[in-house]
Homo-oligomer: A and B are copies of this chain.
Amino acid sequence: MTKSSFSKPTESELQILQILWQDGPSPVRYVNDLINEKRDTDKKIVGYTTTLKLMQLMLEKGLVERDTTTRTHIYKALVDETTTQQNLVDKFIDTTFRGSAMKLVMQALGNHEASKEELDEIKKLIAKMEE
């Protein structure tokens, strides 16, 4: 997959994908409810038809598919979570860190809490990379 052939989901689309990845195939109502529950207090409620429209557009783009055998359509993510994350990370490194993955790692590592287990996991990965 080249950089240019990867179509980046918008922030709203990504938010919906996150829910579908985490909770599995879901109806619009469920997704919309979650979005509103988790929103920052200062942001206003997203209307049901807004989420519906977004998910319909995602269907056209091939980001999701849906089961229409029941009246309440069930939407399912068609793009893979890890692959999408990887694409987004690559692009992010490019635009925000001028291509330096290690600068991103240092920045993310240095500014966020990490448990002993997480640090051990990272150390293990580094050891493997040094072989």
Residues of A bordering B, CB below 8 Å: 3-4, 11, 14-15, 18, 22, 40, 42, 82, 85-86, 88-90, 92-93, 95-98, 101-112, 114, 116, 118-119, 121-123, 125-126, 129-130
Q: Give the complex CA separation of A131 and B14 in angstroms.
A: 37
Q: Are B107 and A85 in contact (CB under 8 A)?
A: yes
Known: A14-B96, A90-B111. 6 other contacts (CB 8 A): A85-B103, A93-B112, A101-B114, A102-B121, A109-B125, A119-B126
Q: Are A40 and B4 in contact (CB under 8 A)?
A: yes
User: A23: shortest Cβ distance to chain B, in Å?
Assistant: 12
Q: Are A89 and B111 in contact (CB under 8 A)?
A: yes
